[in-house]
Structure 1
């Protein structure tokens, strides 16, 4: 499926305009096609190359993807580097930003999707996913009743209640606000979320009656789906398996609508 990419700068109440990158599927001859919307939340480095490629993968399966830049209060929409200074900035801003500001970003991202004529999420069917910080933000995004499904990759800070300003988030306290279905994915070798932290998340979801799946690949480290090799953690095989889990969940809970076919199928272009 072809993809059209763009962005929109959206004003926020907490500071600065938030750039939301969009990845829109295109099907020739189906001008009335409608697609489900999915919010992709990035790790602490904002919308990097690996995050954009992840968003494109999702969009190529028939989802309109919105990927917000999280740190608009502190900097522009540009991605941070996967190095020491970039990591330090991302970790510092992660706990300077208010939890209410993260929630506003999620609401505005869903609002953008639901405002699109081509998004069938206009009738209340959206999804969310993300990695690291973004996994936690996808978890919180599921508090929004418009979100039918969320896939949270190695979500940090949920078990320790340490997201945002004051390092005192209420994510585990609000799990009963989740009405959609979750998939929680953590590597067993993830040092950011230790075994007891994963156990706490799983038990809390279970006790609250949330519909969820929980997957822990035996040898995976933190950020094992990031297709960037500087930290030596990327596992393409496991990343592919987990992506199939995402597609299964989104395919079962979110629905598209091609509408009627229009026009003739064009001849392929004779270009490289």
Structure 2
């Protein structure tokens, strides 16, 4: 399918949030309905690789929303570079925004999707890096039926700021969605002990989850830089698309 893109601004409990919307061309006029996916970026926000991934997902018949995850902390349209300065700023934002503010961001997007007559009630979540964590957290919302979480950082460490003292992984017994957890064994951000702890807690919570580990580095899905593994990326895109279209 051909894809059209536009940006919208949604009101959240913590201020206006720019969201990039990708969907099949003329979706509203075709008389069809589509599943929706909330797609959470890396700390760099909507870079060119993130935009290409959103386009790929939408071209398979999904309505994809990409929020600016740190909208409270930056001017609208901020995109950080894949360099040390961008990494430092993105990490600073990550350590500043409380986890609960992502919950109200999610609710704003879910409320918006309900206004689109061509979007089905079933919604999925997809994310990479910190976005993998946020896709996991989005599954706390009952509307989320499936979450595809790629090398989710900071789940095992329980160190992101929180207003309530409740970290995301500890809330996993509340999740009813189907989870897919994907990891690179050579990822220094989520070492083997951290992956084992996440697996243990999901098992203890009786979560519905699938688990995939590859000989791959962090950010192996990003089609820019020398960590990219195109074969693994294709495998995961195919699995995620099948998951979301079967919700």
TM-score normalised per structure 1: 0.86
User: Match of 2:99?
Assistant: 99
User: Match of 2:20?
Assistant: 21
CA distance in 1, matches of 2:52, 2:138: 21
Report the CA distance between 1:70 and its aligned residue: 1.1
SS at match of 1:65: strand
User: Match of 1:70?
Assistant: 69
CA distance in 1, matches of 2:27, 2:177: 32
Task: Name which of 164, 173, 180 aligns with 1:176.
Answer: 173
Task: Name which of 225, 239, 242 aligns with 1:245.
Answer: 239
User: Match of 2:114?
Assistant: 114
User: Match of 2:213?
Assistant: 216
Runs of 4+ in 1 over 6 A off after TM superposition: 27-30
SS at match of 2:180: strand
CA contact (8 A) 2:100 2:162 kept: no
CA distance in 1, matches of 2:7, 2:172: 31
Report the CA distance between 1:105 and its aligned residue: 1.2
1:152–1:167 CA distance, 2 compared to 1 (3 A): farther
TM-score normalised per structure 2: 0.95
- Tell me which protein shows more strand as a share of its residues: 2
SS at match of 2:95: helix
After superposition, the C-alpha distances for 1:64-88 in whole angstroms (9 at most, x for unaligned) are 0000001111112221111111110
Report the CA distance between 1:135 and its aligned residue: 0.3
1:115–1:28 CA distance, 2 compared to 1 (3 A): closer
User: Match of 1:164?
Assistant: 161
TM-align CA RMSD: 1.8
- Matched pairs, number: 246
1:45–1:199 CA distance, 2 compared to 1 (3 A): same
Report the CA distance between 1:167 and its aligned residue: 11
After superposition, the C-alpha distances for 1:28-51 in whole angstroms (9 at most, x for unaligned) are 896211111100001100111111
CA contact (8 A) 2:100 2:163 kept: no
Q: Which runs of 5+ in 1 are unaligned?
A: 254-272
CA distance in 2, matches of 1:115, 1:166: 30
When Rg is computed on C-alpha atoms for both structures, the one with the higher figure is 1
